[in-house]
Amino acid sequence: MAVHLWMLWRICIFPICQDIVSLSQIIWFQFSQYTTKEFLRRRTLSISLAFGSGPRLNHQPTTGFLMASGRGSDLLVECLENEQVQYVFHLPGEETLAITDSLGQSKSIKLVTVRHEQGAAFMAGVYGRLTGQAGVCVATLGPGATNLATGIADANMDRAPLIAITGQAALAYAHKEYHQYVDIVNVLHPITKWNSRIQKPETIPESVRKAFNIAETEKPGSCHLEVSDDIAEAKADGKPLIRSTIELTRPSTNHLKAAAQLVNKAKFPVIIAGAGIARALASDSLRKLVAKSRIPVVHTYMGKGSIPDDDSLSLYAIGIDRKGPAAIALDKADLVMTIGYDFVEYPPGTWNTRTDREILHIDSTPAEVDASYQPRIQLIGQISETLQLLTGYMETRRGDYDESVRGEILREVEDGSDDVSYPMKPRRILHEIRAALRRNDILISDVGEHKNWISRLFTTYDPRTVLISNGYSSMGIGVPGAIAAKLVHPERNVMAACGDGGFMMTCNELETAQRLGTGIAVVVFRDNAFGSIRKKQLAKFGRATGVSFENPDLVRLAESFGAKGYRPENVNELQPILREALTSRS
C-alpha cells in the first residue's frame, strides 16, 4: 500500500472576541488507492509542490498530449499571455471546457481553481488593485456568470482593473429558450466599463486588447467578454494585438502657476488624498509636496497610506459618516486640494456642505459634475509628475494648521489600546494587529462594523498595505482578497480582518488558500450579528430586527479545513498568537 507525504503551509483564522482559530503547518500521511504509475506521478508532483519556496498552484504536469491548436480558446489564451496575465481565477463549467483546457496548457498562466465564482471575482479585483494590471476571472454561463456579478461590481466601483470571461451556449441557441441561458451581456452592462459578446473567433484579439485597454485606463474598472462554446471550439486564425502605453500630458505652466498661487494665498488648506494616488504611484511625490508646503492630509479609506500616519501632517482617514477630528479640519479649510479623489468613496456633499470654499482638483481625469464640487482649477495629467511640478511653484509654509486636531486623532487611536476587558474590544484588537504587522505587510478589511474602526483608526504607512472596499463595499471580500494579495506579494505577511457575517459568506475559500499554500491569516470579529446594521437600527428605531444569527464552532470549522484552532481566554494571549501565525513557516 503506497504512502505519500503532503506538507501544507499555514492558514490562520482568528474569530474574535471569543474564538481564535489558526491553521498551522500540517504533515500527514495519506494512503493512496491509485495505481502505481498514477501514484508515482502524483507523488512527484506532491513533493515538488510541498517543499517549494512559494504558494502551490494547481498546475498539472504535461502529460505528453499535444495541445490542440487553432481553436478560438487557444487564441484567447494566447491573447491573455500577450497581456502578461499571471493568474486566472476560475471555476470550471461545461461551456468553458475548451477555455479551461487551453489555459491548462499555458506555460505562463497559472490557473487558480476556486470554490465559488464570487471568490474568483474578488481575487481578480484585489489582484488588479495591487498590481494595476487587470485580474482575470473565468466562469461558465448562467449561474456561473451571475455568481461573478458581485465581485465584478465591486472591482468596478473600487476602480480595480478586472476582466471577466464567461462561457455561453452556442450562438445558434441565442434566439430561443435554452438550458441555463441568460443574456449575461445585458445583465452585466450596468456594472462594467465595457462588455461584449464575441460573435466571430477572428475578433478575439481585438476584443481582448480592447477589454484590457479599457479596464486598465483611468479610472480603471471591470470589463466582460462572453465566449460561447462554439466560438471557443471553432477554428481561429489570428494573433494578439500589440500592447501600447498611454502617456498622459502634463498641465500647462500657466495652470500650474495659477494653482500654486491659489495654494500659497490660502490660510487653511487641506489635502484629501484618494485612491488615485496609489494607482498613479504618486505617494513619494505627494510626501515631498507635503514636506515643503506643510499642508495637512486627510485620507479617504482607499487612499490610506498616501503619506504615513506617523507623519505629523497626517490626519488619518475620514469617510462618509464624517466622524472624527479630521472632519473639523475639513470644516475649517478655505481651500481643499483633492488628489486622486473619487466621489464613490466620499461624496463632496458630505464635506463641502457650504459650497463656498475653493477646490483644486488634481487627477488623471477631469472632475465629475456636482453642485458641491466646482473646482476653481483642474490640473489633469499624470498625478506624480503634476505634484512634482506644482511643488516647484509652491511656497514653504509655516506649520499654521490647528495641530490640536492631530493630537485629538492620536488620542482616539490610542484610546482602548490598554483595555484588558474580555470579550476584547475592537480598538484593543486593532492595536494588537498593528503591533504584529510590519509596516509593509498587508491587511485586507472585509466589510462590516469593524471596517469603520480599521478605516479611521488603523495606522497605515504605505499605499496598498491596508485594502478596504469602499466603492461597492461588498461583504465577503476578506478571505478571497487575502489569497490574491499573498499571490502578488508572497514575501509579505497578509492578514484578512473579517466580521463573522462577511467571513461566513466566503469562508469556503479557505480550502483554496490551503490548497495553494498561501499562508494567510484571518481575524474574525465575532458578535453573532450584522453589527453595523444592528447599530443603525438601534439608533433609528430603538430596537434591532432580523440581524442576529448563530455561528458554527469556528475552532472545529478550522479543523475541518485541516487547520488548528485557538480560542483566547484573555487579551494577553492575542499578541503571541498573532505573531506565531504571521511568522511561523514550520
Model pLDDT, residue 162: 99
> CA 54 from chain center: how many Å?
21
Give the confidence band of 4 by pLDDT, cuts at 50, 70, 90. very low
* Domain span holding position 510: 418-583
| Cα Rg of the chain, angstroms | 25
Claim to verify: residue 456 and residue 575 sit in the same structural domain: yes
Claim to verify: residue 223 and residue 275 sit in the same structural domain: no
Instruction: Say yes or no to pLDDT of 581 above 60.
Output: yes
CB contact at 8 A, 24 and 564: yes
Ranges 45-54, 245-254, 481-490, most confident: 481-490
Gap between the Cα atoms of 518 and 74, Å rounded: 29
What is the DSSP track for 230-250? Answer: HHHHSB----PPPP----PPP
Which whole number is the average pLDDT over 5-10?
33
What mean pLDDT value characterizes the chain? 86
Claim to verify: residue 223 and residue 83 sit in the same structural domain: yes
CATH, residue 302: 3.40.50.1220
Claim to verify: residue 389 and residue 438 sit in the same structural domain: no
Torsion of CA 152, 158, 160, 161, to 10 degrees: 50
Q: Examine residue 329 and state whether it is found in any structural domain, yes or no.
A: yes
Amino acid at 429: I
Query: What does the pLDDT look like over 139-172, one tens digit per residue?
Result: 999 999 999 999 999 999 999 999 999 999 877 7
Domain count, the chain: 3
CB contact at 8 A, 141 and 230: no
Give the confidence band of 323 by pLDDT, cuts at 50, 70, 90. low
- Computed from CA positions of residues 16, 19, 25, 30, in that sequence, does the dihedral angle turn out positive or negative? negative
Q: Examine residue 479 and state whether it is found in any structural domain, yes or no.
A: yes
Q: Examine residue 47 and state whether it is found in any structural domain, yes or no.
A: no
Gap between the Cα atoms of 584 and 254, Å rounded: 56
Model pLDDT, residue 567: 79
Model pLDDT, residue 152: 98
Query: What does the pLDDT look like over 219-273, one tens digit per residue?
Result: 999 999 999 999 999 999 999 999 988 888 899 999 999 999 999 999 999 999 9
Q: Examine residue 533 and state whether it is found in any structural domain, yes or no.
A: yes
Model pLDDT, residue 400: 60
Claim to verify: residue 457 and residue 348 sit in the same structural domain: no
What is the DSSP track for 21-61? Answer: EEE--EEEEEE--S-HHHHHHHHHHHHHHHTSSS----PPP
CB contact at 8 A, 137 and 162: yes
Claim to verify: residue 578 and residue 443 sit in the same structural domain: yes
Residue of 448 and 169 predicted with greater confidence: 448
Gap between the Cα atoms of 57 and 34, Å rounded: 21
Query: What does the pLDDT look like over 416-444, one tens digit per residue?
Result: 889 999 999 999 999 999 999 999 999 99
Which whole number is the average pLDDT over 487-507?
96
Claim to verify: residue 467 and residue 576 sit in the same structural domain: yes
Q: Examine residue 7 and state whether it is found in any structural domain, yes or no.
A: no
CB contact at 8 A, 10 and 517: no
Claim to verify: residue 311 and residue 400 sit in the same structural domain: yes
Q: Examine residue 412 and state whether it is found in any structural domain, yes or no.
A: no
Claim to verify: residue 317 and residue 268 sit in the same structural domain: yes
pTM: 0.87
Supply angle C-alpha 12, 14, 18, rounded to 5: 150
Beta 20-23 vs 11-16: how paired, if at all? antiparallel
Claim to verify: residue 557 and residue 489 sit in the same structural domain: yes
Residue 242 grid coordinates: 500589440
Claim to verify: residue 90 and residue 225 sit in the same structural domain: yes
HSE value, Cβ hemisphere, 13 Å, CA-based, for 294: 13
212-218 long-range Cβ contacts below 8 angstroms, 24+ apart:
212/83, 212/134, 212/161, 212/163, 212/243, 215/128, 215/134, 215/161, 215/162, 215/163, 216/132, 216/133, 216/134, 216/161, 217/246, 218/276, 218/279, 218/364, 218/365
Q: Of 357, 386, 406, which marks where a domain is finished?
A: 406
Gap between the Cα atoms of 147 and 139, Å rounded: 9
Gap between the Cα atoms of 267 and 129, Å rounded: 36
CB contact at 8 A, 322 and 316: no
Q: Of 233, 262, 289, which marks where a domain is finished?
A: 233
CB contact at 8 A, 337 and 270: yes
Gap between the Cα atoms of 32 and 460, Å rounded: 48
What is the DSSP track for 60-73? Answer: PPP-SPPPP-SBHH
Query: What does the pLDDT look like over 186-210, one tens digit per residue?
Result: 999 999 999 999 999 999 999 999 9
Model pLDDT, residue 44: 31
Nearest one of 56, 123, 88, 110 to 480, comparing CA atoms: 123
Query: What does the pLDDT look like over 368-417, one tens digit per residue?
Result: 999 999 999 999 999 999 999 999 999 988 766 678 889 999 999 999 88
Nearest one of 573, 557, 475 to 11, comparing CA atoms: 557
Instruction: Say yes or no to pLDDT of 340 above 90.
Output: yes
Claim to verify: residue 378 and residue 486 sit in the same structural domain: no
Which whole number is the average pLDDT over 295-314?
96
Nearest one of 51, 12, 6 to 493, comparing CA atoms: 12
